[in-house]
Chains A and B, each alone.
Chain A
Amino acid sequence: MDELLEQFLLEGRDLVAQASDDFAALRRRPDDAGAVDSAFRAMHTLKGSVAIFAMMPAERALHAAETLLETARTRGGAIGIEALDGLVACLDQVDRWIDDMEAFGALPQDAAPIADRLVSRLAGHTPGPETADAAAMSDGAIWADLIAERHPSIVAAADTVLTAFRYSPSADCFFQGEDPLAIAMAVPELLSLDVLPAGGEWPARGDIEPFACISVLEGISAAGPDKVRSSFRLVPDRVEVTTIGAGDAAARSSTGTRDSKGGDILRVPSARIDAMADGLGELIVAVNAVAGLTRDAARIDRSLAASVQAVQAKLEQVTGRLHGELSAVRAVTLENMVRRLPRLVREIADGLGKKVSFNVQGDELEVDKQIADGLFEPLLHLLRNAIDHGAEPSDSRTAAGKTADCTITLRFLRSGDSIEVVLSDDGAGIDPRRIREAAVDRALLPRADVDVLSDAEALRLIFSPGFSTAHTVTSVSGRGVGMDAVKAAIERLRGTLAVESAVGEGTTFRIRLQAGALTTPLLLVHVGAERYGVALDQIVETARLGEGALQAVGGGRACVLRGRTVPVVSLGALLNTGEPDDPLARVLITQAGGDRVAVRVDRFGERFNAFVRPPVGMLAAVPGVTGSALMGDGSVLLVLDLPELLA
């Protein structure tokens, strides 16, 4: 991808998230001047960023939003709820357009009319110049920043402090014989002068009132503030003067546009970190190979072996430390993943005509990037489900004595090495009786089996493949993915998923995950001439079965383990590499679709930790493969996903 675009995607989404936070703050406190300022800066910078690309409609929409915020900022006072809705709609749309730029490199065809609608919606809430004229004078920092931004070369060339001024003539000044332009042009040592629309935007040709002053004049002078101020001695209450210097302006604009967390932050594409992790994985493998060398050396020369061993110990120590550092680098806060959710929640809720209030807590927690990336889809699906099936219509909620808006809360908690993700709603809850009925209707389980299930067990049926209790398939939930897909996605992250629900009170999903998952403990298994890796957490136990322990049952085989009959499946047969003929059977027991299955292999190999890389290219299309790991001898080991292989 084009590097510039890549940078824009990162920064653009940061700015969207910033503005989104500010809008959320404004919803709580509509007169929060700090939030207005911050949102204004974010929208302004975003407008500058989109201007680099063919995103004219986005630029127009952002300009309208910026104008509204600028007016609110200079006038003071609260931002109305409808204006805020307009701003959020604008931001959401820009966020979607950023997604479009990533996916297609261009905006969709309908972008221009959408921008038109946003602009007119926002303009409807932007006071005209007449009211803006009565404005209180604004805070110096921002307008001075903007002047400096418009004239970077002047600011950069200055070796002394410069004076910036902003002159806002009254609307009726022309009738008093004033010529503000003449006044401003008489400022000594004037370096720049801009005539800008007081309302943020010049009116349309047909709406211009030729005798009203609709301009503000902003300029930079090399003269001192007092000299500049004296030029405006006849209109002292109409002018603001402040100083800007080269360093000062740079510092100011940097706080406005760079990462607000400050410090020496380096932005690195995550692919590079992944490449480093791969490199480190290879290094660890190579270091492990030195162990073999030590044994060989011992046969030849004991003192040589001792030296090699010392080197090996040192290497292990250093790679261990590197591993720790890299894990820390790969750790990302959940914020980046979470920040995309509020917009999607709004879209889903709007699409379904539901009223939802969505809160997130604890998203500052750090997890391995793989976890953060892998959580997005399942969380989105759970949210979609909560809004579609959980949230009741507002009137039935109020009738039931609840708030009109359904509250959905997403919480992230850390406990030791694992994190817990809790998604709860105060919606309708899941009725276990309905789940039982649906399970029987869909022939998932016979009536007798269903009736003995506890309520908690019945609830878990929603994770069964093909289960859906929705009476109507909506465009939102009915996308051909059920809760089983959510469960599978969580299991791919080596996590667990649980559900609790109370009818009329709401539903809670709990996801438990390892916070760091850089390496995976694997067991090497041999089948014929091949060897494969299996993640230890997919293995319940391993067993050796004596001669005759394998029994033919129906078309297949089974064995008895701890008093229970377990079907036996040969890995060789699954992978088409042939059946072992050893009468002694080695099996590993795994859990597939809730049942235990014994998988027969020829031989067990060593246990080791490896970087499992997600499958790419052709490998990605092979079912039952989690990824690949690099071995000490340079060969590539396929890591199997047993439940998927057995499905």
Chain B
Amino acid sequence: MTVRRDGDVLCLEGRCGAEDAETLLVALQEDPRLVVDASALLRLHLAVAQVLLACKPQIRAAPPDILLATTIFAGWSDM
């Protein structure tokens, strides 16, 4: 399970593949207030990344990968 809901928090964990994009999107469409926690995220497929960028959920924790943290998770806020 790479997209896991924990109360009001959506946790992205491990390697998020293209198939996770729909799960993430449906979750965010159903509850736009969900907060995303990426502290355990290792890799992110573009399909998932663009859902995050388009939906702009609140991000609670950036992923440990510095490049991932500075591209997707830093860049989204000033889009």
Q: Is A193 an interface residue (CB 8 A)?
A: yes
Q: Number of contacting residues on A, CB 8 A?
A: 25
Considering the complex, give the chain B residue whose CB is closest to the CB of A177. Answer: B18
A195 within 8 A of B: yes
In the complex with contacts A181-B44, A192-B71, A195-B75, A208-B55 CB distance below 8 A: yes
Contact status B29-A205, CB under 8 Å: yes
- A213 in the interface, Cβ–Cβ < 8 Å? yes
Q: Which residues on A sit within 8 Å (CB–CB) of B51?
A: 208, 210
Task: Name the distance in Å between A60's Cβ and chain B's nearest Cβ.
Answer: 13
Q: Which residues of A contact B18 (CB under 8 A)?
A: 174, 179, 211
- Once the chains are docked, how many angstroms separate the CA of A194 from the CA of B43? 16
**A432 on the interface (CB 8 Å rule)?**
no
**How far, in angstroms, from A214 to B54 measured CA to CA in the complex?**
10
> Would you call the interface of chain A mostly helix, strand, loop, or mixed?
mixed
Q: Mark B32-54, 1 if CB is under 8 A from A, else 0.
A: 10000000000111110111011
Chain B interface mostly helix, strand, loop or mixed?
Answer: helix
User: In the complex where A202-B54, A208-B55 touch, is A190 in contact with B49 (Cβ < 8 A)?
Assistant: no
In the complex formed, the residue of A with least CB distance to B20 is: A210
Chain A residues proximal to chain B, CB less than 8 Å:
169, 174, 179-182, 185, 190, 192-197, 202-203, 205-206, 208, 210-211, 213-215, 217
Q: Could you tell me if B72 and A195 are in contact, using CB atoms closer than 8 angstroms? A: yes
List 19 interface pairs A-B (beta carbons < 8 Å), by A numbering: A174-B46, A179-B18, A179-B46, A181-B44, A182-B43, A185-B68, A192-B71, A194-B71, A195-B46, A195-B49, A195-B53, A195-B72, A205-B28, A208-B25, A211-B21, A211-B47, A215-B49, A215-B53, A217-B46
Task: Tally chain B residues at the interface, Cβ within 8 Å.
Answer: 27
Candidate in B67, B71, B75 with the most chain A CB atoms within 10 angstroms: B71
Q: Which residues of B contact A194 (CB under 8 A)?
A: 71, 75
Contact check, B67 vs A215: say whether CB atoms are below 8 A apart. no
Chain B residues whose C-beta falls within 8 Å of the C-beta of A211 in the assembled complex: 18, 21-22, 47
Q: Is the CB of B71 within 8 A of A210?
A: no
Q: Is the CB of A181 within 8 A of B54?
A: no
| Contact in complex: B47, A210 (CB < 8 Å) | yes
Closest residue on chain A to residue B28 by CB atoms? A205
A169 and B71 within 8 A (CB): no
Known interface pairs A174-B18, A211-B18. Does A181 touch B25 (Cβ–Cβ under 8 Å)? no
Query: Given that A179-B18, A197-B54 are contacting pairs, would A210 and B46 also be in contact in the complex, using a CB cutoff of 8 Å?
Result: no
- When chains A and B are docked, how far (Å) is the Cα of A425 from the Cα of B57? 57
Q: What 1/0 mask marks residues of chain B from 50 to 67 whose CB sits below 8 Å from any chain A CB?
A: 110111100000000001
Task: Choose among B22, B25, B44, B67 the residue that contacts A190 (Cβ–Cβ < 8 A).
Answer: B67
6 additional A-B residue pairs with CB within 8 Å, beyond A193-B67, A213-B50: A174-B18, A180-B46, A181-B72, A192-B70, A210-B21, A211-B18
Known contacts A185-B67, A193-B67, A202-B54; decide if A210 and B49 are in contact (CB<8 Å).
no
